Structures are given as C-alpha cells and as structure tokens.
A and B are shown apart, each in its own frame.
Chain A
Amino acid sequence: MEELLKQIAHCVEFGKINQASPYPPDLKGKDGADELTKKALDQGATAEEILTNALIVGMGKVGVKFRENKVFVPQVLMSAKAMSAAMAHLKPLFASGAAKRKGTFIIGTVQGDLHDIGKNLVSMMVEGNGYEVIDLGVDVNADTFLTEAEKYPHAVIGLSALLTTTMVNMENIVNALKEKNPETKVCIGGAPVTQDFCNKINADLYSPDPQGLVEYLDKLAS
C-alpha cells in the first residue's frame, strides 16, 4: 500500500491525471492519479490515508517548488487536475461524513474586483492540502463573507485583490468579520497587498504565495 500511495503522490506532484493523459512524457501509458486512487480504495486504503499520505504529500511538494520558482503556474494546474481526479473518488466519502478533512477555508475576490486566476490557484492549493474550500467567486461583499463565516464558524477566511483600489475593500471585510467573531482568522493576498497593509487592517496573515497560507492553515489545524 505504501508504494501505491507513493505513486499517487508522484502523479499529483508531476500532474499525471489518468492513463490517457500524455503528460508528463515519462509516465505516458501508465496509470495516473485517477486509476491509482481507485485501486488504493479497492485495496482497503481509507480516504484519509490517501489524502494525507498521497495527495497532500504531492501537492505540498508542488507548492514548495512553485514558491521557489522551480515550477510555474501550468505545472501547478496540471497537479491540481491530477489531484481533482483523485478527489473525485474521495469526495463522496468526505460528503457522507465517513472521512474528515483538516478544516474549512472560505475564499473570495473582494468587492469591486473581478480577477480570479490568483484566487483559483490559491483554492486549488489549499484544497490539495486537505482542506474543504468554499469559493465564493469574485466581487464578494462583506455580507456574503459574514453569512458563510456563520455557517462554518471554524473556517479560515481568505481575501484576494489585484488592484490597490479594490484592496482597500479588504479592510471593511476584515472589520465586519472580526466584529462578529473576533476569533475569525482572515488571510489576505494578491499582487498589490503587502505585510504593512496586512498589519494596518489587522488581518491575520499576508502571504505572497499559496504555500505560505497552507503552512499557516496547517499550524492552526495542528
């Protein structure tokens, strides 16, 4: 089993989705994350085991390589796709409560902003690291964040923005969330965001890349 989980982790790390997918060239014709996950479940692995010992391992390696500029967005997307092929087998088990994830993360691009590539990348990385992700989309106002945060009281919130003029809307959202529940943790990111801005608006974390966020979430979850 250990070997099988290692293979799944490898598929996620290198973006091998299923047998038919030609990428990466050295795994051409071989089983991908899709088939191997099914095989692992058939052989008695639990969803949690696969998540923890295969998917998170693979995705974690990609996250670190992305931060270090050793891989770029396309490879992350291939990994995310491989991961989601594996997750398709696991999701019913999580939904039924038969297996648990590490926590819940709610993310959205803030009011006034329509950019989503960065936010989507963050969602994929966080999901691939074992969290349930609720993606509220773009142009999300404080009320929507509040409603979702109420539904999931232990969830961590993530805010994204790509312009200095929309970044300022993060402040209202952080204030609204903290006013309702001072324990709520809010993480922020996007091209114009800085650590200074994070300090100024009392957000809990700024990270220039998804991996910093994953490490923070893991620390909270442990």
Chain B
Amino acid sequence: MEVSITEVGPGDIDIDPAVLCGLMGIDPDDIPEPYSGIIQRELDEIKNYPNIKGGFKISGNIDILSPKGVLSYEGVEFGAGKQVVDNLSNSEMAALYICTAGEEVSRRSKELMGQGNLLEGYVTDLVGSLLVEGAMDILHEKLRNEMESKGLRVTNRYSPGYCNWNVDEQHKLFSFFPEGFCGVRLSESALMNPIKSVSGVIGIGKEVKFNKYICHACSSVNCIYRNIKHAV
C-alpha cells in the first residue's frame, strides 16, 4: 500500500490547559499571572500553525521475529528490541508513521526566547510537543477506525529511541517514505527537522493487543510515555 497523508487542522487538536500546566509544574486550578495570560495567548496562537500533518505507510509484508527482537518490514529488518516486538506480536500488518507539528511553532518559540520572552518561548515549545502528540493521537484514532471496519485492531505506537530501539533506525523507517514527506527531513544524525516531529510503528491485526508501555523496569525515568495515557 502506498503512503497516505493526513493534514490535521490546528482546530482539531484539543490541548487541555491542565496538561500544559502539569508539564510546567503549576497547579491548573490556581494559575497565577503571568502564567495564565501566556498559556491562553499561546493556545490561541495554535491557529497560526498550518503545517500539522502526518501519514502512514501500511504493509502486510511483515514478519515478527520475537526471539531476535526484530520486525521485518518488506524485507528490511528493524532491530526494535524485545519489548517493542513482543507488543507487536500477532500483527498481520504494520503502519509506519511520520508526523509533525510543522516548523512554525519552533520558530515562534525561538523568536520569543531570543527577544528575552523566556516563559512565552518555553510555553510555545511545550505547545509544540503537545501538538505533535495530539496530531498523532488523531492519526492513530483514524487508523483504528479504518481498521475496525475491517475487523482489525491496532497496537499502541512505538518509536525508535524509546524502549531500547536505537534512534538511528529512523533511517530505515524514512526509506519507506518519499523525500521530505509532510515536510519532515531526517538528518544524518537521525534528527528530524522540524524538531516537533515523531516517527514510529503501529501493529495491525485481528489478535493484536493495545498494551501500555511496560515501564517499571526501564531507566528512562523522564520519558514522556512513561506509564501514561495511551489507552486511546
């Protein structure tokens, strides 16, 4: 199957100010000035970020090699590690994805910081992270609905760089997409530009399970996915 692109309207992503406050370490029920004004302003600013988009490349030509911790995708072997591969077990297809909040949000954050508006710049940076995760939630949900109509289920999403899956393997992932897909480019050092971008894989099949990440044994104590949400 060819790659598909979904554009996400900025208005479609619902960022909960309480989540933003949580990331900032402030009590959402009692937000002091200047925080509340800045949060409101930066959430209003979201309408000016036109390039939030992402897409999938879905293939049924896959093999899950559990003991080796390998996902073979159209003949390319991803060393995704045992934890990820176990969570993909029973997949009949897999969807690779790339998703971005676009560069506007990072540009604004940089500009604000450069002008000495540090807090504003920081809030904008957080908004960018929440936007790309929010966009990916929408894409994930869309995929789930499509697959459900065919009697299939989807797994959680798994990204290179998490759960012992080497971040460098993004090069293999990007090789399945056209150059500059959704405006995202991968550098030699496996950094996506725009910064507020994510990549990864979702398993699809009749018998797959939606497992939360199994984080208790992992040393990445600050990981954003640690034991949270993702029970879509």
Contact = CB atoms under 8 A, between A and B. Distances in A.
B193 A114 contact: yes
A23 B37 CA distance: 12
Contacts of A64: none
B195 A163 contact: no
B67 interface: no
B180 interface: no
A25 B33 CA distance: 8
A112 B191 contact: yes
A21 interface: yes
B45 interface: no
A22 B34 contact: yes
Nearest to B110: A116
A113 B190 CA distance: 9
A113 B189 contact: yes
Q: Which 4 A-B pairs have the closest CB atoms?
A: A72-B25, A112-B189, A77-B118, A22-B33
Interface stretch (B4-12, B161-169, B199-207): B161-169
Residue among A25, A71, A164, A169 facing the most chain B CB atoms (10 A cut-off): A164
Interface in A43-80: 71-75, 77-78, 80
Interface residues of A, number: 30
Interface size class of B (residues with CB under 8 A): 20 to 34
B188 interface: yes
Contacts of A165: 167-168, 189-191
Contacts of B189: 111-113, 163, 165-166, 169
A77 B122 contact: yes
Contacts of B167: 163-165
A81 interface: yes
Nearest to B190: A165
A22 B122 CA distance: 19
B178 interface: no
Residue among A22, A165, A169 facing the most chain B CB atoms (10 A cut-off): A165
A78 B191 contact: no
A114 B203 CA distance: 31
Contacts of A74: 24-26, 35, 119, 122
B175 interface: no
Contacts of B33: 22-23, 25
Contacts of A84: 116
B222 interface: yes
A114 B161 contact: no
A191 interface: yes
B191 A166 contact: yes
Interface string B22-54: 001110000011110000000000000000000
Contacts of B222: 191
Nearest to A73: B122
B118 A81 contact: yes
A164 to B, nearest CB: 6
Interface string A100-135: 000000000001111111001000100000000000
Contacts of A29: none
A112 B34 contact: no
A163 B161 contact: yes
A113 B191 contact: yes
B119 A77 contact: yes
Given A81-B119, A117-B125, A165-B190, A23 B32 contact: yes
B149 interface: no
A92 interface: no
A116 B187 CA distance: 17
